[in-house]
Amino acid sequence: MKFARALPTLFIGCCLSAYGGTYRAQALPPVEAFGQLPFISDTELSPDGKYFAGVQSLDGKPVAVIYKVSSSDAPQVFGSPEGSLVTGIEWAKNDRLLIFYKSALNTIGGQKSSRYLPLATWYRTISVDVAGTDPVELFEHTRSMSANYAASRIQDKVPDDPDSILMPLWTLAASNVGYGDRYDLYKVNVRTGDAEKILGGVSKSNKWITDGLGNVVGRVTETMDPLTDHLFFYRNGDWQPVMDFDADPGKGSAIYGETWDARSLAVVRTGPTGYDEIDRLDLDTGKLGEVLFKDSSYDIAGPIFDEWTGRIVGARVAHDSFEYHYFEPSMQALQRGVEAQFPGLDARVESLDRSRDKAIVMVESPTLPPTLYFLDRTTHVATKIASTYPALNNSDLGQMRPYPYKARDGLKIAAFLTLPPGKNPTKLPLVVLVHGGPDARDVLGFDWWGQFLANRGYAVLQTNYRGSSGYGAAYTTAGLQQWGLKMQDDISDGVKQLVADGVADPKRVCIVGANYGGYAALAGATFTPDLYACAVSFAGISDLTLDMRRMLETWNTKSAYYKFWASRIGDPMSNWNQLVATSPALHADQVKAPILIMHGANDTTVPIEQSEAERDALVRAGKSVQFERVEGDDHYFTLASTRIEMLSKLEAFLAANIGH
């Protein structure tokens, strides 16, 4: 698993990365400047602060690396087993790093996968020491491991135990191979890979709660019809019921974990104003208490965890860009100090050693790719380590600004407009870049895909249509079962506003996206054929009836997963006609513009048959379609070759259809 070949050295705490700083801006940076994988990501200091690990790109593939702090030694480099890809890293002990990797397989537990789910993604974890030797696979000898697809999550790092951590693992029901029935908790030796079950989960248990010291605090169990989460505390070797939570998709509460002060659990739920808030749930009384954090206009974007205890120390919220709020006073002071050192930028603490004397800080803006700094808190000196996109300069990137507008029914839509550098913002060719999800959102920040398009001379509109996350319960509800309908209208209305403002040339507009954005691109070309001169879909859904049939075969109709997607797309039991009416592949005869379709062959999120169905329908209808099957990659642009190929094909396609 160890590569013999060396990567460029990062002399942390001493000098700049040897990799960056040599590029000089030219008329157009090469596609590779945008399409290469980030130079380094998932950065984390070891508990004792002596080492620094991350995920780097080697020959266009992600590998795990370990650097020694304040040393010019070459890093230890770790790949993954043949046919798999590294997905992340996490320190378990001072001298042991965990490397997570994934594989796309067509069997689950030795049985053939289903017709509608031909591939499944399996996750595994390898533990390595800092010297680059002695790799072991965790759970390798555990009985249920051969049929387990999810084995890459740390529950508790157990800091006082030099050898072990806690990890959950599904124990699978024989009648339902591939999908977990019990979520058991194991003590795992990171030096041998051996695992010992310490507590068994009951049927439908789906979450463990621990205190960051190796002690179990509670568990959450889900029941169906109605969907309900049941919280139990673990007291004196027994389980005590505490509270039931509404678990309806998109509306229910969720337990993040124990708070930094060990007094309570942090519970996120919709508050009286319709926006998420984080409340305390007292560990002694089991009662909900004070509000830890809320924002008057936005939902919680996610918790901030202490990386060594797993306790909740703060929360992120996205206005136009991200903001970081800590409940723990010392961490709030550190965050404000970081923000003061990098004014006007998105600056955040990426990692701390256990003593909090050393920190990795990430800084970015729309025209500054994420850049790493090493902060020595004893000297208060911040030293640049590396840029994630070292071949890009500020002058290569377009200015990004908020572009709010109103949809046709009066709903206020938040959006962002990126203008090409050096271009007069009048009658520009426009690319509508639609985010995936759809329960996701765009923010004001560096976007490698959007910035590539701006660099090539296109205005770029990124709109947070109804149903996008972060804008409250009412905004989510407004998008339910509105695929191809009001959600699509929101995107169309943004285009029309840009045309009315004189920014966009109405004859040179292309709609582009991946995942849900790919669906929206196909829907735009199909249901508003006069609005777009072209469309590009990467891994988009084209036939909603096919996708929901896959859901029906794969999941129990009362499960949270099925109910979530039925609430978003539509339940085929009651909304079949709407699913047919809003499936682009079933209406290919309406398309007028050329369409480019790309899809990863190993995609387990949206099967490639969705893109093949659209291609076949367009060919039968005599429409212009270009189809590209991407071998060896999945749904998430994991390989640099995929990103570079996608951008290259996209550049040529746009030039031919809305060229400037």
> 502 and 436 in one domain?
yes
Rg (the chain; Cα; Å): 25
Q: Where residue 460 sits, what CATH number does that domain have?
A: 3.40.50.1820
Is there a single domain that holds both residue 506 and residue 647?
yes
Print the domain residue range for 54: 1-76+348-392
Q: Give the N- to C-terminal CA distance of the chain in Å, as an integer.
A: 47
Based on the domain organization, do 438 and 556 belong to the same domain?
Answer: no
Residue 631, exposed/middle/buried by CB under 10 A (0-12, 13-18, 19+)? exposed
- Residues near 388 by beta carbon (within 8 Å), at least 6 away in sequence: 38, 39, 40, 41, 369, 370, 371, 372
Distance of CA 142 to the CA centre of its chain: 29
Has residue 445 been placed in a domain?
A: yes
Angle between helices 640-658 and 448-455 (to 10 degrees): 40
Query: How many CB atoms are located within 10 Å of the residue 143 CB?
Result: 11
**Residue that is written with structure tokens 């040529």 in the block:** 652
Amino acid letter, 316: R
Give the CA dihedral 208, 331, 386, 380, nearest 10 degrees: -150
Q: 174, 150, 157, 165: which is closest to 196 by C-alpha?
A: 165
Residue 134 gets the label, from left (phi > 0), alpha (psi -120 to 50) or beta, of left
Pair 515, 503 in one domain: yes
Q: What is the pLDDT of residue 259?
A: 97
Domain co-membership, 574 together with 480 = no
Q: Domain for residue 179, yes or no?
A: no
| 182 part of a folded domain | no
Domain contains 442: yes
CB count, 10 Å around CB of 496?
15
Give me the pLDDT at residue 132, please: 81
On whether both 496 and 388 belong to a single domain, the answer is: no
**Residue 148: per-residue pLDDT:** 66
Flag residues of the chain having pLDDT under 70. Answer: 1-26, 106-118, 146-149, 172-181, 248-251, 660
533: tokens are 């001169």
Check residue 112 and give its pLDDT. 47
Nearest alpha-carbon partner for 209 in 221, 217, 199, 200: 217
- The whole-number pLDDT of residue 329 equals 94
Question: What is each CA distance from 571 to 519, 543, 544, 564, 568, in whole angstroms?
Answer: 18, 14, 10, 10, 9
Domain identity same for 440 and 552: no
CA distance 66 to 210: 28
Residue 630 is predicted with a pLDDT of 95
Residue 529 lies in a domain: yes
CA distance 392 to 405: 31
Cα–Cα dist 398/456, whole Å:
10
CA distance 256 to 304: 10
Short-list 99, 184, 114, CA closest to 144: 184
- Whether omega before 29 lies within 30 degrees of 0, making that bond cis, reads no
Q: Is residue 202 part of a domain?
A: no
612 CB-side CA count, 13 A: 10
Q: What is the pLDDT of residue 10?
A: 47
505 and 418 share one domain? yes
Number of domains the chain is built from: 3
* Domain shared by 509 and 536, yes or no: yes
**Residue 412: φ, ψ to 5°:** -75, 125
Instruction: Give the pLDDT of residue 21.
Output: 35
What is the reported pLDDT for 226?
A: 73
Instruction: Give the SS3 label for residue 444.
Output: coil
pLDDT at 111: 47
DSSP secondary structure letters along 630-657 = ETT--SS--SHHHHHHHHHHHHHHHHHH
Angle at 415 between CA 31 and CA 647, to 5 degrees: 15
Instruction: Tell me: do 374 and 431 sit in the same domain.
Output: no
Distance CA 443, CA 447 (A): 9
Alpha-carbon distance 17 to 203, whole Å? 50
Angle among Cα 483, 485, 486 to the nearest 5 degrees reads 100
Answer with the one of 530, 561, 582 that is the final residue of a domain: 582
Residue 286 lies in a domain: no
Look at residue 12 in the predicted model and tell me its pLDDT.
42
Contact 634, 104 (CB under 8 A): yes
| Side-chain-side CA neighbours of residue 182 (13 Å) | 15
For residue 208, what are the CA distances in angstroms to 99, 165, 224, 434?
Answer: 22, 14, 19, 36
Integer Cα distance of 125 and 106 in angstroms: 20
Q: Does 577 lie in the same domain as 606?
A: no
75 cis-preceded (ω within 30 degrees of 0): no
pLDDT digits (tens, 9 = 90+) for 435-456: 999 999 999 999 999 999 999 9
| Range 63-84 burial, b when 16+ CB lie within 10 A, else e | bbbbbbbebeeebbbbbbeeeb
Residue range 476-533, pLDDT digits in tens:
999 999 999 999 999 999 999 999 999 999 999 999 999 999 999 999 999 999 999 9
Phi, psi of 266 (to 5 degrees): -95, 120
Residue 412 and residue 468 in one domain? yes
Residue that finishes a domain, picked among 330, 359, 392: 392
The Cβ-side half-sphere exposure at 318, using a 13 Å CA radius, reads 17
Spatial separation of the C-alpha atoms in residues 448 and 640, rounded to whole Å: 12
Is pTM beyond 0.85? Reply is yes
Domain boundary residue among 392, 408, 426? 392
Amino acid letter, 14:
C
